[in-house]
Structure 1
Amino acid sequence: MRSAFISSAIALVASTLLLRGADAQQQLCNGYAELCAKTYDQVSYATTHNAYAYTPRGALAANQNNDIPTQLKDGIRAFMLDAYNLPSGGTNDIELCHSYCSLLDAGPLSAVLGQIKTFMDQNPNEVISIFWENAANLAPARFQTVYQAAGMTPYLYTQTAGSTTWPTLASMISSKKRLLNFVDSGADASVPWLMAEYDFIFETPWQITKGSEYPCTVDRPKGEERGMYVMNHFISGQVTVGDQTFDVPQSGIVAQTNGQDLASHANKCTQTFNKIPNFVAVDYYEQGSLLQTVAQLNGVNWNGKLPTAAPTSNKNTAVGKIGGASSTVVTFAAAAAAAAFAL
């Protein structure tokens, strides 16, 4: 009898501890308890520019080194993606490409949404945002088809156009509506969760070259501020091949770009606009101090979790992979290499 009593007591204590642990976990929003009471528009989010453009490793057109599951694990909470037609001509999916699919093709959106859904299923206290560059002018119905097939519908949040009142992260997490999608063009009422970015958000200029001043001006929509903003912070070199101009990421200076330069740029824009940047968009996020800077903007003590180091890669091998696609890409690779050295 006494043994049974002791066993019951132990079980009760264990259950209590588990519940307390669960409660503590419930109180975290995007990794920090202090963010739970903040509304979506009061928070800064670590953002990857061309998040999908990490393959082939070392490619001159790549903006990231780590894949999207790794980005999610490391604390990236907003992703910039580019929408293109499938090379096959099908309409049941969307291809993620950089400028041209012959230049950098990261594969179908369905695969990436599957990765994001797995993370969201396993991490119920995280609010995620996606920014779409609708490069191929796809209809919202195309996005709807892929998102539905990926099982994302329960997570999709919709903000009424014109509304300036956003929910707190805690309430979004409680409602499970914690995946926000913004598109730069083509939004319409038929798919309300695919929200017109410039109804809610403005962006600072994105074409920044080495040695130029980091701008804190309104680039898109031209001259019109909104309640939130993207601070674009990545250095690019431009390469012209024929009648096409390409942006080449500058990986060689990223430690400086994503280090003190990033903190200075964020402070400057905060003072200029009298509000913190909501989306701090960078290339090669794992280098520099993106996560520390975002924590500081959010007024929280950084949790000390370091991002995953980039996999080793061989740029010559990667250039060879993209170089086989077409003579245009071969020319691009050579011109891009020359531009990178010139910068």
Structure 2
Amino acid sequence: MTDRTRRRLARALVVFGALCLLFALPFAYLDRNVFEADGFADNAASAVQNDAVRTVLAEKVTQELQLADPRVVSAAPLLTSGLEAFLETSAARTIIRAAAVQTHNAFVSRERGSLVVDLANLGIIAGELLRTRDPALAEKLERSQAIIVPIADRSIATQVARVAEDVRILAIVLPILALLAFTGAQWLTPGRRRAAGEIGLAIFLVGIAALTLSVVFRGLILTGFEGDGRDVALGVLDAFTGSFTLWCIVVALTGAIIAASAMSLTEGVDPADVPRLLWSRIRRPRRSLAGEVIGALLLIGFGALIIADPAGAVRLAATVAGAYFVFAGVVTLLGLIVGPPPAAEVEKPTPRELRRAALPWALGAVALVGGTAMLMALVVVGRSSDEPKVAAAASRGCNGSPQLCERRFDRVTLPTSHNAMSTAQDGFVNANHGLGTIRQLDRGVRGLLVDAYLGQRNREGVVRTDLAPKAVEIVEARLGAEGLAAVQRLAGRAAFGPIEGDKELYFCHIVCELGAVEGVPFLTSIREWLDRNPNEVLSMMIEDAAPTQDIKRAFEESGLAEYANDFQPGSGQPFPTLREMLRSGKRLWVAAEEKGETGTWYHRGYDVTQETPFSFGSPAEVKATASCQPNRGPDDAPLLLLNHWVETYPPNPRNADVVNDQDVLVSRARRCARERGRWPHLLAVDFVERGDVVAAAAELNGVAAPAARGPALVP
């Protein structure tokens, strides 16, 4: 075999070994951090230390307690904040780690049966937190209620177990193949020092390629998330993949040390001379004045960084010193392995030869990284390009049905959320809903009743309400003496009078101290939802305790005003159809309860809307014949609002279970339509996630109920 053939075969072995090492790196990492129970549990516990992940977990536990007893919704924000604080402790880390081990064993084990991930300890802690806030409600909850996640389909676990076995085998076999390939290349190459250098360069490029691919993969994963979901995904990725960066750096550093050591032997450089050579290279006179200035500035900048971060400089110095000692040791070992160079063997390549030898590896690394990144990008682009098609298919017609497209706006029943902003997910105490407003829209709600106030957020983060337009007696009449006392107890002190400082628009219910969402971001989220759902028409009725100019300004700043419809019912013309509203882009009806502006898109609500009573004290009163009597609005107003909830403080989800029943809703709506001579336009309820107001509206419209696109809070 000629020397040329041996070199080609050796390089082929180096390439093969590099590829084995490149694939071995992620497989070994997965085996250690995902498919081993201890590694998986450690990463899961670390993920909970991320703020976004901790918030989501606290909300999930609170929701599970709501399943045990819906009345927990009134204290949901207090429970969530208390659980978030607890999840930062070492005791919580122990609980999470134990639950992660159970989950891992269930999925990676081949044993039959089903899994129960028991987070009962967190449930008990949540119960104790509730006991400190609302002892009466805590007594009614069963503290022994376990929060469980059953996984009955063992076929998934079996598949995961098989994948784990394959990964574990590859994590062992691939590094062995890489080692054998590198050993064969070292044995075949006539110049062993050059072979060692090529192997070191290959290992270095593997580390860089793996690091680059991990960054690309991380970026592509995060493109599928937005807002809070992106923060959660980032927290989980950091916990489960953060160490992979260190693995890649160690591999690259190892390759660089091997390559540098081989080059040192080739050029006859003693490790002891390296510091002197580096300093002489730094202080070597440049060929131009600009080069001298740039070199001096770089030294000054490096020194300034050391002064600015002494601790970081110490860590950097320790890393450099450690790498230097490793380098010196590798040079010594390589010298013993390859032996002294034969007198006739020329091992000192020219710089041009070194560049020529490195070029194929560099091009190979670029091609490998670029090709893989392009493939992953094509997969993501293909997936994202399918999303609009899926969204369009899910929203054919108008408001979920082609039959509604030619229907006039005033002849369509819209499932409506009363106090839509008052949700447990948005941190409201004594909330009217469990689901956040956008999730309500995802589940089919198309009408939003909201309350707008001016307020000021203080240093404690509490929004103090500007109640100057409303007397204390009015607030107490709405909340009751017990409710007002709860405000004082939970929020410290309500601002029954003008507040100082800059005021901002908030959406809250009577008093913002019990919960508030900022005006512009809230309206922006609705505008973004409309952007994503081009075939939907919405209606908003605003209880306008805030001045008209502040509310209109928030609509304009959020971009939501662009969707607002300025049709004037007093013009003598019929309302536009849903199709006409969609084509014009003006597919949002906005009305104010008290003010508004005639002749604009900000309609005076009770000039064009009439309603039923809303002060029902029990489900029986909602069902009673008297529930259809006139309340606000003139008798000839074209739109009819059906207020269909039980007015209690705090709102009780058990009442919603009764009055939100589809048959109850449809029966009352038809009775009121006959008595009032108007189509039931807004069908407004509390706790939209309970019962089925969406299906009831579909039945009244004579169309099939659209499939809910958001997850339910309750079964």
The two structures share one fold, judged by TM-score above 0.5: yes
SS at match of 2:440: helix
- Residue from 440, 451, 454 that aligns with 1:82: 451
Task: Sort the Cα spacing of 1:91 and 1:30 in 2 relative to 1 into closer, same or farther, 3 A.
Answer: farther
Tell me which residue corresponds to 2:703: 300
Q: State whether structure 2 residue 533 is matched by structure 1 residue 131.
A: no
Residues 228-262 of structure 1 show CA distances to partners (whole Å, capped at 9, x for unaligned) of: 1100000122xxxxxxxxx4322122211100322
Once structures 1 and 2 are overlaid, which stretch shifts more, 50-59 or 110-119? 50-59
Tell me which residue corresponds to 2:686: 283
Residues 278-302 of structure 1 show CA distances to partners (whole Å, capped at 9, x for unaligned) of: 0000001111121111001111122
Letter in 1 for 2:605: E
Q: Is the 8 A contact 1:60 1:249 kept in 2?
A: no
Give the CA RMSD over aligned residues: 2.8
Q: State whether structure 2 residue 402 is matched by structure 1 residue 41.
A: no
Show the 5 A alignment for 1:299-318.
299-305=702-708, 308-310=711-713
Letter in 2 for 1:219: N
Task: Sort the Cα spacing of 1:109 and 1:22 in 2 relative to 1 into closer, same or farther, 3 A.
Answer: closer
Task: Sort the Cα spacing of 1:91 and 1:176 in 2 relative to 1 into closer, same or farther, 3 A.
Answer: farther
State the alpha-carbon separation in 2 of the partners of residues 152 and 122 from structure 1: 13
Task: Sort the Cα spacing of 1:56 and 1:34 in 2 relative to 1 into closer, same or farther, 3 A.
Answer: closer
- Residue from 595, 601, 614 that aligns with 1:186: 595
State the alpha-carbon separation in 2 of the partners of residues 299 and 262 from structure 1: 14
Q: Is the 8 A contact 1:206 1:233 kept in 2?
A: yes
State the alpha-carbon separation in 2 of the partners of residues 39 and 90 from structure 1: 46
Once structures 1 and 2 are overlaid, which stretch shifts more, 299-308 or 144-153? 299-308
Q: State whether structure 2 residue 657 is matched by structure 1 residue 255.
A: yes
Greater share of residues in helix: 2
- Deviation at residue 95 of structure 1 after TM alignment: 0.9
Task: Sort the Cα spacing of 1:60 and 1:33 in 2 relative to 1 into closer, same or farther, 3 A.
Answer: same
Q: Is the 8 A contact 1:203 1:231 kept in 2?
A: yes
State the alpha-carbon separation in 1 of the partners of residues 611 and 398 from structure 2: 25
SS at match of 1:84: strand
- Residue from 53, 73, 95 that aligns with 2:506: 95
Task: Sort the Cα spacing of 1:32 and 1:207 in 2 relative to 1 into closer, same or farther, 3 A.
Answer: same
SS at match of 1:65: coil
Q: Is the 8 A contact 2:454 2:503 kept in 1?
A: no
State the alpha-carbon separation in 2 of the partners of residues 105 and 90 from structure 1: 20
SS at match of 2:603: strand
Letter in 1 for 2:657: A
- Residue from 630, 643, 654 that aligns with 1:218: 630
- Residue from 583, 589, 592 that aligns with 1:174: 583
Q: Is the 8 A contact 1:85 1:91 kept in 2?
A: no
Task: Sort the Cα spacing of 1:99 and 1:139 in 2 relative to 1 into closer, same or farther, 3 A.
Answer: closer
Residues 19-67 of structure 1 show CA distances to partners (whole Å, capped at 9, x for unaligned) of: x999978851011100000110010001000000003679663111100
State the alpha-carbon separation in 2 of the partners of residues 70 and 21 from structure 1: 18
Letter in 2 for 1:301: A
> What is the TM-score normalised by the length of structure 1?
0.74
State the alpha-carbon separation in 2 of the partners of residues 90 and 120 from structure 1: 34
SS at match of 1:98: coil
Task: Sort the Cα spacing of 1:114 and 1:95 in 2 relative to 1 into closer, same or farther, 3 A.
Answer: same
SS at match of 1:278: strand
Tell me which residue corresponds to 1:236: 647
State the alpha-carbon separation in 1 of the partners of residues 700 and 413 from structure 2: 7
SS at match of 2:536: coil
Task: Sort the Cα spacing of 1:220 and 1:309 in 2 relative to 1 into closer, same or farther, 3 A.
Answer: same
State the alpha-carbon separation in 2 of the partners of residues 26 and 100 from structure 1: 37
- Residue from 394, 398, 401 that aligns with 1:32: 401
State the alpha-carbon separation in 2 of the partners of residues 70 and 57 from structure 1: 11
Q: Is the 8 A contact 1:45 1:78 kept in 2?
A: yes
Identity level (%)? 29
State the alpha-carbon separation in 2 of the partners of residues 220 and 94 from structure 1: 26
Task: Sort the Cα spacing of 1:296 and 1:56 in 2 relative to 1 into closer, same or farther, 3 A.
Answer: closer
State the alpha-carbon separation in 1 of the partners of residues 688 and 565 from structure 2: 26
Q: State whether structure 2 residue 419 is matched by structure 1 residue 50.
A: yes
Tell me which residue corresponds to 2:471: none
Q: Is the 8 A contact 1:94 1:146 kept in 2?
A: yes
Residues 183-220 of structure 1 show CA distances to partners (whole Å, capped at 9, x for unaligned) of: 0112234x811100112111100111113226111100
SS at match of 2:424: coil
- Deviation at residue 309 of structure 1 after TM alignment: 2.0
SS at match of 1:172: helix
Letter in 1 for 2:642: M
Residues 321-341 of structure 1 show CA distances to partners (whole Å, capped at 9, x for unaligned) of: xxxxxxxxxxxxxxxxxxxxx
* Larger gyration radius, structure 1 or structure 2: 2
State the alpha-carbon separation in 2 of the partners of residues 90 and 55 from structure 1: 28
Tell me which residue corresponds to 2:71: none
Tell me which residue corresponds to 1:141: 549
Q: State whether structure 2 residue 516 is matched by structure 1 residue 106.
A: yes
State the alpha-carbon separation in 1 of the partners of residues 689 and 404 from structure 2: 23
State the alpha-carbon separation in 1 of the partners of residues 502 and 405 from structure 2: 39
Task: Sort the Cα spacing of 1:58 and 1:124 in 2 relative to 1 into closer, same or farther, 3 A.
Answer: closer
Q: Is the 8 A contact 1:92 1:145 kept in 2?
A: no
Q: Is the 8 A contact 2:666 2:700 kept in 1?
A: no
> Which one scores higher on RCO, CA 8 angstroms, separation ≥ 6?
1
Tell me which residue corresponds to 1:117: 527
Tell me which residue corresponds to 1:227: 638
- Residue from 266, 271, 295 that aligns with 2:674: 271
Q: Is the 8 A contact 2:425 2:435 kept in 1?
A: no
- Deviation at residue 120 of structure 1 after TM alignment: 0.6
State the alpha-carbon separation in 2 of the partners of residues 91 and 263 from structure 1: 46
Task: Sort the Cα spacing of 1:202 and 1:262 in 2 relative to 1 into closer, same or farther, 3 A.
Answer: same
State the alpha-carbon separation in 1 of the partners of residues 396 and 709 from structure 2: 22
SS at match of 1:124: coil
Tell me which residue corresponds to 2:609: 201
SS at match of 1:85: strand
SS at match of 2:683: strand
Tell me which residue corresponds to 1:64: 433
Q: Is the 8 A contact 1:93 1:146 kept in 2?
A: no
- Deviation at residue 308 of structure 1 after TM alignment: 3.3
Letter in 2 for 1:296: E
State the alpha-carbon separation in 1 of the partners of residues 393 and 711 from structure 2: 26
State the alpha-carbon separation in 1 of the partners of residues 443 and 696 from structure 2: 14
State the alpha-carbon separation in 1 of the partners of residues 639 and 604 from structure 2: 13
- Residue from 568, 571, 595 that aligns with 1:163: 571
SS at match of 2:703: coil
